[in-house]
Structure 1
């Protein structure tokens, strides 16, 4: 095989761009497929920052503490080898981004500034105001453009990945994709393919995700033989603002800079929040969690807000909503640290949060689950082996996954500001893994018989020709709305088995109704309805995986909360001082400390459980009081 091979990276966010950089700097050719212009990828929406135990504030922070916080925050369900590798690489990644020109905030001394995020007691989050994702995305795209100018990278913006091309052994030797403007379908031969396609937020209807985040690529890869892991773990961010079209994120950085969550102590109090004195405000997170206060992990904060509004009926005006208050912080400080978030709230709500407390409520935000990927652990360091072809690999040989599309870094709950880090780190190890995989193959994808590519292309041409002829009574967008409604109602903050069973049944009903869809548009150019109807099927498949996985996991862990299977409160703030409770916790952990594995079958996902590998850190119960 020639030294320069050709690869495909699907997705132009941080994970995709870093994978591309690693492949291009090794001299390879890379085709980048993206639904939207690369600089509009969903990474651009990330606000708060990127974690790394740089310890510029002299707090004694260290990558080992970052590892512990990440594993503990994820309730010890994360892939521990990959987490350790990520946390140890984090300081170097931040300095690399700094050298690329990312406009990180700095201290008066000129050092990189760091803020606190949830689930940690250290200032560990580097940030560029409240638009960190945008700054990182633009910096990586600038690097990719250098390789683009050299002819090593070719971008295919407004192209949708449809599926793999496989040889007779099942190896992925390329992709089939569609130009969303001309509706042309073509194949892309590749020695390896990486799916860096983000999460499935639109399966839940409205979320903080971009509307392109349907999960369609991961859903299709799952249908073609990849495993989908830990689908039940869906993060609901504690602070978002509702919208008719989608939810808008109010970053954790707001609380990291001193924002406080509260409701009036008097139920039904309708006074202007500025007229309610401190003594009549209930700062419920600070009261219950005096150590971490407003910066408990997201799953904890979300459940507390949900409980205050839904169970106690103390939401603002008796409705869903609590105050997120920064009015005690000088406006000049807010503009220096989180101006982007302030402007989003002011634009979409109409109130200036510098002077009027924000009204927020939890909203679907992130999927900890995703395509199952593997790693080769160095027995000495317990981190991924550099350049191993196993790293970030799915069950389909030659198909890799990175970023939110994979499952490996966050376990049952993601800590804030670990997302940008995991995207970049997975790309950093995924790119070399793909190159190593290609080097180990006896026959290159480019030398494979044309028949494999022609057959794959014809499959998709026939499928879209069939969809274009669908003229039933069902509207695909209505089906998607019904899917989102039932997923949000039953698969987010609180889960009950009877409702989950009905959710699975409802999704199967929606799949039946999909067969009676009207495609709405039979045009030959820019036919969004045609593309979406195909995507909708993949969304239904993922929705069934998520709901079925949630139904079968009879415990509460991280973002997966079942009141019927939760442990009672320990008698002590430190549960280790309650031996009886610890015995219950150990029994639960021993039974359920497993990765949920979903395998595709036409009759529905087949769920099994995979033991966690030997841990880097011994598990312990989470407590934040």
Structure 2
């Protein structure tokens, strides 16, 4: 028989790498994307991609990259995948370079490196401030080569609706909808790799993510039985530009290249920031975290901004704003290294960051949580190369990679590890799916036509119901309500009463959505229909996030409940009785909470249970201390 086919959902770095590896292994690939592949959200990543190359002679090491990633994630990620991620990062960078990616280089021609948050060594490769775009275009060219040979077929402007699952519970393909004609079609396949990105639109408009980052695809497979892991850990990027329509990311590279975050010491100071002398400025990150200063990890930086503005009332003009200042740096240096973000700020704020400090505030940026995926550990303590278990979900035949999986970041993602994990996980998932296909029984029966017909009828019925709905609720208004709710109740700082209220309000939003009216019944390119379907799945996913946050009574990484905080006693250091008591309580807390949260879909509220974390590389011994 012909080689069994594979389907990849998502055309970002994860999906392209998975497609590349599957096609190179000899399997025909159909690649589905909501839009042209080159518009995938990976292009928005600005600052860089991590790998230990040590071209600056700082004695950086792969072991240190592993430790930084493990500790930055508060020990909550399984460690064998992290070990392999960091070990293979230098080779991945060299592969990108051979693909033609235009990395920034030193005058001598070597790969340049910059500093990113949560680390003390420069290990971030970059292409100006548009690194994600350059990486995506490099891999896309390789996929296009295979496409020209008939080994990859792209379905752009198609949306994933659901999995086709046989009587044995195996994934055997997908149902997808043509976003132009609204045709619903079945695409049988023997394996599916989901690389559909993140779910930042749960927090819109106060999110840096694309309007297509709804998490709907992940929510749909979650509703079909896939586990959703660590949903409570959502990173708020500390330096986002404020805007009426959305917030726009001002890359962490701005801090890594010497940018400083501050507010006036006098909250009533209305002077132009360039006229406020140094002694009257509060460089709070440098004072709160002297060991790291402005390059402290994102979760700490975001909470520090929250504290300064919301608790101390020191925000610019008394509001939710602080300064990110580049004006003290060499203008030519900044323009060369950060040109892309400078142009974004000039366009949408109307001022030049080279002349006056930018105004920024934390915004929802990246979900560390996602679909649960497996791995197989090898004798060296990393992931066994090529194992069919790597990046497999709990639904046989379904794999997940990129931002829609949970595997590499634990409770908090270090900057510039996202492009690395997206690329690496896509490559691993493609290789694992290829070996899964090789292990299938050649005599397996085809997927029953009754299964395909039943699922198609179900999906078409949803479309028909929405097209004929004449309720009074507007889906876009409901989305605004969802974003406001999640930002306020499941945001930078949380408490159990607010999370209970969030779950109750999500139930009410779900009920209101049942009374929706689209305002149009067109069967051609009906964007309101598409969005309303996505919104229903976003509300379901928001329940998993809120329920996971409610269940975890601790502070860890991006999940912060002050009622359960274990603060380091002020002025104490290792050896002091106060610090040793704190260390003992930290270890006791780890015994209880150092576990992966798993959410299983249920009609009313998700079922939450826990799974032990693999700590075989670096067991936790010391609390993270950014002082």
| TM-score, length basis structure 2 | 0.98
Q: Is the 8 A contact 2:75 2:615 kept in 1?
A: no
Q: Corresponding residue for 2:121? A: 122
Q: Corresponding residue for 1:604? A: 605
What are the within-5 Å matches in structure 2 for residues 272-421 of structure 1?
Answer: 272-378=272-378, 380-421=379-420
Q: After TM superposition, give the deviation of residue 428 of structure 1 in Å.
A: 1.0
Q: C-alpha offsets along residues 499-524 of structure 1, whole Å, 9 cap, x if unaligned? A: 11100000011111111111222101
1: CA distance, partners of 2:572 / 2:490: 29
The reply to whether residue 447 of structure 1 matches residue 449 of structure 2 is no
Q: C-alpha offsets along residues 349-407 of structure 1, whole Å, 9 cap, x if unaligned? A: 000001111010000000000000000110x2111111111000111111110011000
Moved over 4 A (4+): 443-446, 571-577
1: CA distance, partners of 2:448 / 2:438: 19
Q: Please state whether the residue corresponding to 1:236 is helix, strand or coil.
A: strand
Q: Please state whether the residue corresponding to 2:17 is helix, strand or coil.
A: helix
Q: After TM superposition, give the deviation of residue 205 of structure 1 in Å.
A: 1.6
Q: Corresponding residue for 2:483? A: 484
Shift of the 159–596 alpha-carbon distance from structure 1 to 2, 3 Å rule, reads same
2: CA distance, partners of 1:458 / 1:512: 24
1: CA distance, partners of 2:11 / 2:184: 20
Q: Is the 8 A contact 2:381 2:616 kept in 1?
A: no
The reply to whether residue 531 of structure 1 matches residue 530 of structure 2 is yes
Q: Please state whether the residue corresponding to 2:479 is helix, strand or coil.
A: helix
Q: Is the 8 A contact 1:173 1:445 kept in 2?
A: no
The reply to whether residue 623 of structure 1 matches residue 625 of structure 2 is yes
Q: Corresponding residue for 1:581? A: 582
| TM-score, length basis structure 1 | 0.98
Q: Corresponding residue for 2:190? A: 191
Q: Corresponding residue for 1:51? A: 50
Q: Corresponding residue for 2:501? A: 502
Q: After TM superposition, give the deviation of residue 157 of structure 1 in Å.
A: 0.7
Q: Please state whether the residue corresponding to 1:366 is helix, strand or coil.
A: strand
What are the within-5 Å matches in structure 2 for residues 173-188 of structure 1?
Answer: 173-188=172-187
Q: Please state whether the residue corresponding to 1:115 is helix, strand or coil.
A: coil
Q: C-alpha offsets along residues 62-116 of structure 1, whole Å, 9 cap, x if unaligned? A: 1111010001001000121111110111111111111111111111111000001
Q: Please state whether the residue corresponding to 2:114 is helix, strand or coil.
A: strand
Q: Corresponding residue for 1:264? A: 264
Q: Please state whether the residue corresponding to 1:114 is helix, strand or coil.
A: coil
Q: Is the 8 A contact 1:413 1:559 kept in 2?
A: yes
2: CA distance, partners of 1:126 / 1:521: 48
Q: C-alpha offsets along residues 191-235 of structure 1, whole Å, 9 cap, x if unaligned? A: 110110111111112210000010000000100000000000000
2: CA distance, partners of 1:574 / 1:426: 39
2: CA distance, partners of 1:575 / 1:223: 47
2: CA distance, partners of 1:574 / 1:438: 54
Q: Please state whether the residue corresponding to 1:187 is helix, strand or coil.
A: strand
Structure 2, gaps ≥5 residues long: none
What are the within-5 Å matches in structure 2 for residues 54-65 of structure 1?
Answer: 54-65=53-64
Q: After TM superposition, give the deviation of residue 156 of structure 1 in Å.
A: 0.7
Q: Is the 8 A contact 1:324 1:359 kept in 2?
A: yes
Q: Corresponding residue for 1:30? A: 29
Q: C-alpha offsets along residues 564-595 of structure 1, whole Å, 9 cap, x if unaligned? A: 10013234564565211111100111110010
Q: Corresponding residue for 2:592? A: 591
Shift of the 587–603 alpha-carbon distance from structure 1 to 2, 3 Å rule, reads same
Q: After TM superposition, give the deviation of residue 322 of structure 1 in Å.
A: 0.6
- Using the TM superposition, name which of 454-463 and 145-154 deviates more: 454-463
Number of residue pairs matched by the alignment: 623
Q: After TM superposition, give the deviation of residue 493 of structure 1 in Å.
A: 0.5
Q: After TM superposition, give the deviation of residue 445 of structure 1 in Å.
A: 7.9
Q: Is the 8 A contact 1:575 1:621 kept in 2?
A: no
Q: Is the 8 A contact 2:268 2:317 kept in 1?
A: yes
Q: Corresponding residue for 2:247? A: 247
Q: Is the 8 A contact 1:191 1:444 kept in 2?
A: no
Q: After TM superposition, give the deviation of residue 183 of structure 1 in Å.
A: 0.6
Q: After TM superposition, give the deviation of residue 533 of structure 1 in Å.
A: 1.3
2: CA distance, partners of 1:365 / 1:134: 18
Q: C-alpha offsets along residues 428-477 of structure 1, whole Å, 9 cap, x if unaligned? A: 11001111111222157893333332222222112211222221111111
Q: After TM superposition, give the deviation of residue 614 of structure 1 in Å.
A: 3.8
1: CA distance, partners of 2:459 / 2:573: 57
Q: CA RMSD in A?
A: 1.2
Q: Corresponding residue for 2:614? A: 613
The reply to whether residue 67 of structure 1 matches residue 69 of structure 2 is no
Q: Please state whether the residue corresponding to 1:447 is helix, strand or coil.
A: coil
Q: Corresponding residue for 1:81? A: 80
Q: After TM superposition, give the deviation of residue 613 of structure 1 in Å.
A: 2.1
